[in-house]
């Protein structure tokens, strides 16, 4: 069985306590590798390595750091196929998606921050006889903790700006999807990243995650994951005055107005609901539809959902793969049951799927569409994070806004209308960090990314991400 290792001080390391976790392939339900169940002792080794590396890495010119990061991106391109295959095997997503979304975006993350750092400038404020200027210096050692839904995509999204700004990083991928982060470590070695600059620790949140958050020498935590985990992390990091970036859960609305381009809205609502099995924090899981077009939308939507192919992520033509773990599969099924108990009607899907052949024990669920539930019920309030979407009606702009804003989350919304002024009006009234008008999941990496309310604290992306990973100092000179 494949045995993954921690990557500390530029070398592979077994966990100090020799404890291991099993790693399964979601599409087959079978264990196929094991990974370190790391502890505080491993974190200490990583911190020691990072401390040694920091004076070298932080003193390098930005051009030199950029060159090394671009060499990593180049290695990723050379390993494109194997990274894509590993991501689909480990996560359960269709191979097509790994190839068009996850791996290209992971490469883009490294390239983007490797080059953005070349353009980072600091401010100066002059007045009579005095010049103030701002210095952005690396924080030192930072922690990056990422989830399982877009494994290498979100892992690199965090570590790239941290490395570009001269920090040394202790990074933890999700214990459910450790494979591509391990392959990434190998590519860093090939590309000549100095030992200790990036250290990758495997294991669960309770042990190694907590140890990273609590280590006094790790001065900033960038976390993406669930809202409850974010709360636990904040409760530990805040009293230690660590810098914190939290990208958390969502319950995102897709808002369909009668005056939209209906064909495009239906097409994109299907994509937004079921891409990556609905396991994207930005997925539209509540579709709000204007009364007058409810039936038209609903019929066209259901027809398209029924055409989605569920099955082996490695088969061409698969649209919906396996859910990441047995416990997540059970959780999503329990929400479908809850929706029925709350009085919802299942318009399509609703059941587990057992494809014939190698995937018969995999964790698959039919794309599921539910209607007839009020906004206050748990199905419409809690993040399900699977191939499950609800439909609700609205009869006015005000009602659409109230329904959309009516959860504790505020990550992303998408709005479908041809009416220009209404589109802007709605965008301004929505309490979401991202509002897509007549589109979904178009990402420009320079834009601020993050959620309002319980969806997070702070913003990633562009110069915001570079600033997060720096300390800001004002120097005031009288002359």
What is the total residue count of the chain? 479
The single residue among 456, 459, 466, 469 that binds ligand NAD, judged by CB under 6 A, is 456
∠ Cα 287 290 296 (to 5°): 85
Nearer to ligand NAD by Cβ, of 270 and 283: the residue is 283
Q: Is 87 in the site for ligand NAD (CB under 6 A)?
A: no
* Residue 204 binding ligand NAD, by CB under 6 A: yes
Question: How many CA within 13 A on the CB side of residue 106?
Answer: 28
How many degrees, rounded to 5, is the angle at CA 432 between CA 430 and CA 433? 135
Q: Does 6 bind ligand NAD (CB under 6 A)?
A: no
Q: How far is the CB of 328 from ligand NAD (least distance, A)?
A: 7
- The residues carrying an active-site annotation are 247, 281
Q: Which residue is nearest to ligand NAD (CB)?
A: 205
Is 210 a residue that touches ligand NAD (CB under 6 A)? yes
CA–CA separation, 354 vs 341, rounded Å? 24
Spatial separation of the C-alpha atoms in residues 369 and 425, rounded to whole Å: 29
Instruction: List binders of ligand NAD among 145-184 (CB under 6 A).
Output: 145-149, 154, 172, 174-175
381 contributes a contact to ligand NAD by CB under 6 A = no
Stretch that binds ligand NAD, among 65-73, 209-217, 266-274, 309-317 (CB under 6 A): 209-217
Contact between 403 and ligand NAD per CB under 6 A? no
* 138 membership: H or E segment, kind and range: strand 130-138
How many Cβ atoms from other residues are within 10 Å of residue 266's Cβ?
24
Mode of pairing for the β-strands spanning 6-8 and 11-13: antiparallel
Q: What contacts 105, CB < 8 A, 6 or more positions away?
A: 150, 153, 443
Q: Which is nearer to ligand NAD, 113 or 148 (CB)?
A: 148
Range in contact with ligand NAD (rule: CB under 6 A) among 202-210, 266-274, 422-430, 440-448:
202-210
Please answer whether residues 464 and 113 qualify as being in contact, where contact means their C-beta atoms are separated by less than 8 angstroms: no
x/- track of binding to ligand NAD for residues 337-376 (CB under 6 A): ----------------------------------------
Q: How many CB atoms lie within 10 A of CB 355?
A: 18
Q: Are 270 and 246 in contact (CB under 8 A)?
A: no
**Residues 267-296 vs ligand NAD: string with x where CB under 6 A?**
--------------x---------------
Our finding on whether 224 is near ligand NAD (CB under 6 A) is: yes
168-172 and 252-256: which strand pairing? unpaired
In the list 92, 166, 196, 225, the residue contacting ligand NAD (rule: CB under 6 A) is: 225
Rounded Cα distance, 79 and 89, in Å: 15
* Cβ-based nearer residue to ligand NAD, 28 or 146: 146
Q: Point out which residues pair with 471 in neighbouring strands.
A: 137
Output the smallest distance, CB 229 to ligand NAD, in A.
3
List helix spans (H) across 9-97: 40-59, 62-78, 80-91, 95-97
List of residues contacting ligand NAD (CB under 6 A)? 145-149, 154, 172, 174-175, 204-205, 209-210, 213, 224-226, 229, 232-233, 247-250, 281, 383, 385, 411, 451, 456
């Amino acid at each position: 069985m494949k045995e993954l290792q921690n990557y500390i001080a530029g070398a592979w390391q077994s966990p100090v306590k020799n404890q291991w976790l099993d790693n399964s392939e979601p599409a087959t339900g079978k264990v196929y590798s094991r990974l370190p169940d790391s502890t505080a002792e491993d974190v200490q080794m990583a911190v020691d390595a990072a401390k040694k590396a920091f004076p070298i890495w932080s003193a390098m010119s930005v051009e030199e750091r950029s060159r090394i990061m671009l060499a990593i991106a180049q290695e990723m391109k050379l390993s494109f196929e194997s990274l894509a295959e590993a991501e689909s095997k480990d996560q359960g997503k269709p191979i097509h998606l790994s190839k068009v979304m996850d791996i290209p975006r992971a490469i883009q993350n490294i390239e983007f921050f490797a080059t953005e750092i070349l353009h980072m400038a600091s401010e100066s404020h002059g007045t009579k006889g005095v010049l103030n200027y701002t210095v952005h210096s690396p924080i030192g050692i930072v922690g990056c903790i990422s989830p399982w839904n877009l494994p290498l995509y979100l892992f690199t999204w965090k570590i790239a700006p941290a490395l570009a700004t001269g920090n040394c990083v202790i990074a933890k991928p999700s214990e459910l999807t450790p494979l591509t982060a391990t392959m990434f470590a190998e590519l860093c070695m090939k590309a000549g990243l100095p030992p200790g600059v990036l250290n990758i620790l495997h294991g669960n949140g309770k042990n190694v995650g907590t140890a990273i958050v609590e280590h006094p020498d790790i001065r900033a935590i960038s976390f993406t994951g669930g809202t409850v985990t974010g709360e636990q992390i904040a409760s530990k990091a805040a009293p230690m005055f660590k810098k914190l970036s939290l990208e958390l859960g969502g319950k995102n609305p897709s808002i369909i107005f009668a005056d939209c381009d209906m064909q495009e809205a239906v097409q994109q609502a299907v994509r937004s609901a079921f891409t990556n099995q609905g396991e994207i924090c930005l997925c539209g899981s509540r579709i709000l539809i204007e009364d007058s077009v409810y039936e038209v939308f609903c019929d066209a939507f259901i027809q398209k959902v029924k055409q989605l192919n569920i099955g082996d992520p490695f088969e061409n033509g698969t649209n919906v793969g396996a859910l990441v773990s047995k416990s997540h599969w059970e959780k999503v099924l329990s929400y479908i049951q809850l929706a029925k108990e709350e009085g919802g009607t299942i318009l399509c899907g609703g059941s587990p799927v057992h494809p014939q052949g190698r995937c018969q024990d995999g964790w698959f669920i039919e794309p599921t569409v539910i209607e007839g539930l009020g906004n206050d019920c748990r199905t419409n309030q809690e993040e399900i994070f699977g191939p499950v979407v609800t439909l609700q009606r609205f009869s006015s702009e005000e009602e659409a806004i109230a329904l959309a804003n009516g959860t504790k989350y505020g990550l992303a919304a998408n709005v479908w209308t041809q009416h220009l002024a209404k589109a802007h009006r709605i965008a301004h009234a929505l309490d979401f960090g991202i509002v897509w008008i007549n589109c979904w999941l178009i990402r420009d990496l320079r834009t601020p990314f993050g959620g309002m309310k319980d969806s997070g604290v702070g913003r990633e992306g562009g110069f915001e991400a570079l600033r997060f990973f720096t300390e800001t100092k004002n120097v005031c000179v009288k002359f």
